[in-house]
Structure 1
Amino acid sequence: MKRTITHLADGRELFYFDLRDDEDRSAADERDLPPRPPASELRYDPLTEEWIAVAGHRQSRTFLPPASECPLCPSTPGHPTEIPASSYDVAVFENRFPSFSAQPGEYEQVGGLSEVRPGVGRCEVVCFTSDHDSSFSALSPEQVELVMEAWIDRTAELSAMPGVEQVFCFENRGPEIGITLAHPHGQIYAYPYVTPRTKLTLGAAERHRERTGGNLFADVLAAEREAKIRVVASNEHWTAFVPAAARWPVEVHLYPHRRVPDLLALEPSERAAFGPLYTEVLRRLDGLFGVPMPYIAAWHQAPVNVGRDLSYAHLELFSIRRAPDKLKYLAGSESAMGAFVNDVLPEHTAHLLRSVITD
């Protein structure tokens, strides 16, 4: 693998990850770009004890352009994009419209019980392939490994940045999910706090350890592998299963068999084994209803400074599609109360996914 770092016209960093060592990445970004926006505001919600990012500049971000104007495709004569090269394997760059950044700004207190502070952190875009019409499920095992190397590289570097408390790699896929760009890509958020979901699960893991002496995530995996009924697919190093208490109509979790706090701790054999299983699961999702499955793929990694002995790196994959022509909307119970009601039996979802022919 070859890693090359360069800069875009407004000073943002761009990283190329290539399978070949002889790729030329000297093409420069010659666009005339506006100044980078300041970091967002973080406002504290005393009712939930959570930080809310307010990033008004994101209202002007690019929204579902035609393929001929895609900013994630390689640059061509007359159409410069975020990636100056004429082709690439994997490219990662700082988001032009970030939720968090290190750019200085001015912030005023808003009164009441809410505290305001800068949304210091970083947001990056990960382009999985230069092929606009492809998808993660169509990537070769070598390309998936390269994407994973990019995730690992960026997790390590972002975790070392001042003020960063958690690094989150994820992919949003499909207009139903709310994507703004159709090109196969994901994102990485470097948060200046530990996210609410992670706090919740680590709290549960700590209480589980106090009661049993075991690791909660490892015990969940072991129980699912023993029950078998919700296992969708597995190999020597990974198991994919529908959780017994799935919130979403289609939800699959992928765990390595060995507990690691983050992607950096995976052995080469574990990294190599991830791609074939994950792309199989994605093809099963696409084959479930005969239409491309909208989904969110979320890597859960240990925070930078806390809970690392409790964490268990894993991927959670879920979709809002509950039937070929029906979506799961987060209405009153889910949105207002955070109380999920799943319309589909998890065991039935697992059975349907196992029944999909992927070859």
Structure 2
Amino acid sequence: MKRTVTRLADGRELFYFDRREDADRSAVDTRDLPPRPPASELRYDPVMDEWIAIAGHRQGRTFLPPSDQCPLCATRPGNATEIPASDYDVVVFENRFPSFSFNLTGTYEDVGGLSEVRPGVGRCEVVSFTSDHDSSFSRLSPEQVDLVLLALADRTEDLSAMPGVEQVFCFENRGAEIGITLPHPHGQIYAYPYVTPRTRQMLASAARYRERTGGDLFTDVLEAERKAETRVVAANEHWTAFVPAAARWPFEVHLYLNRKAADLRELTGEERAAFGPLYTDVLRRLDGLFGVSMPYISAWHQAPVRTGRDLAYLHLQLFSIRRAAQKLKYLAGSESAMGAFVNDVLPEEAARMLRDQG
């Protein structure tokens, strides 16, 4: 892999990840861009014990532009984009409209009440999986998936070393139903200045399980699912894809590495190579369920930078809000107000439907 670092016209970093060592990455961003926005505010919710980012500048972010004006396509005459090169393999760059950043030029004043206010220090990056605007992750070659994983591991390494960063989260939103703003195949990376609520809850559960049983929660979940078999969708030597027994979403699949690892940096070459064929197979099964492109969120759960690393277990959570051909799962009263999920699809039936797509 060849890694090339350059900067965009407003000073943001951009990283090319290429399979070929002779790739020319000398193209320069010639756009006239406005100054970068200041970092967001973080406001503390004392009732929920959570931090909320207030990022008003994101209201102006690019929203579903015509395909010939896509900012994630390679630059061509008449359309200078976020990617100056005329072609590329995988590209990562700082988000122009970030939820977190190190540009501490704003004012972060007391807003009264019991809420503490501080700068939204951190970083947000965009990951373009391919220069092909009309492709999807499910159609990437195993070699391309391997390159994406290398890029995510590289960024996890760099972002974890930045001051104030406590957790690195790599994810993909796909589909208009999910609320994407750009249809080009891409993901994002958030470097949070705190450990997220979901991760805190998972690690607390793992700590209680260890204290109660002496075992590792995630290892035992994986072993139990492999033994039960009924919810396993697909598996190979290094990975297992299964529908969790208490799935929250109509179609939800977790992909576990068959050994414990903390984050993407710890994957071996063999494990990366084995991931692509299995994961893209699961994605194609999802698309085959109802004969439409399934909207989904794909979320890598990695260990925090400094806490709970011995408790965490690298895995991917993939889920769709589509519950039938013409029906979506909306987060209504119970889910949105109480955080109490009600799933309309039996997990064992979801797993069977996905297996049948093979």
Normalised by the size of structure 1, how large is the TM-score? Answer: 0.99
Deviation (angstroms), 1:222: 0.3
Counterpart for residue 21 of structure 1? 21
Q: Distance in 2 between matches of 1:88 and 1:325?
A: 37
Q: Distance in 1 between matches of 2:244 and 2:301?
A: 15
Counterpart for residue 258 of structure 1? 259
Counterpart for residue 87 of structure 1? 87
In the TM superposition, 1:28-47 aligns within 5 A as 28-47=28-47
Instruction: Find the residue that maps to 2:210 and give its secondary structure.
Output: helix
1:243 aligned to 2:255? Answer: no
Q: Distance in 2 between matches of 1:265 and 1:147?
A: 15
Counterpart for residue 186 of structure 1? 187
- Letter of the structure 1 residue corresponding to residue 325 of structure 2: P
Instruction: Find the residue that maps to 1:137 and give its secondary structure.
Output: helix
Unaligned segments of structure 1, at least 5 residues: none
Q: Distance in 1 between matches of 2:177 and 2:25?
A: 35
Counterpart for residue 148 of structure 2? 147
Q: Distance in 2 between matches of 1:33 and 1:191?
A: 26
Q: Distance in 1 between matches of 2:152 and 2:184?
A: 18
Q: Distance in 2 between matches of 1:223 and 1:338?
A: 26
Q: Distance in 2 between matches of 1:141 and 1:45?
A: 43
In the TM superposition, 1:1-359 aligns within 5 A as 1-104=1-104, 105-357=106-358
Q: Distance in 1 between matches of 2:76 and 2:176?
A: 26
Instruction: Find the residue that maps to 2:177 and give its secondary structure.
Output: coil
Q: Distance in 1 between matches of 2:13 and 2:273?
A: 28
Deviation (angstroms), 1:159: 0.2
Instruction: Find the residue that maps to 1:276 and give its secondary structure.
Output: helix
Q: How many residues align?
A: 357
Q: Distance in 2 between matches of 1:15 and 1:283?
A: 29
Q: Distance in 1 between matches of 2:176 and 2:188?
A: 16
Q: Distance in 2 between matches of 1:116 and 1:80?
A: 38
Provide, for residues 105-163 of structure 1, a one-character-per-residue CA deviation record: whole Å limited to 9, x for no partner: 21111000000000000000000000000000000000000000000000000000000
Deviation (angstroms), 1:266: 1.1
Instruction: Find the residue that maps to 2:22 and give its secondary structure.
Output: coil
- Letter of the structure 2 residue corresponding to residue 120 of structure 1: V
Q: Distance in 1 between matches of 2:283 and 2:23?
A: 30
Q: Distance in 1 between matches of 2:289 and 2:151?
A: 30
- Letter of the structure 1 residue corresponding to residue 336 of structure 2: S
Q: Distance in 2 between matches of 1:25 and 1:264?
A: 25
Q: Percent identity?
A: 78
Deviation (angstroms), 1:75: 0.3
Q: Distance in 2 between matches of 1:30 and 1:266?
A: 38
Deviation (angstroms), 1:72: 0.3
Q: Distance in 1 between matches of 2:194 and 2:303?
A: 12
Deviation (angstroms), 1:9: 0.1
Unaligned segments of structure 2, at least 5 residues: none
Instruction: Find the residue that maps to 2:52 and give its secondary structure.
Output: strand
Normalised by the size of structure 2, how large is the TM-score? Answer: 0.99
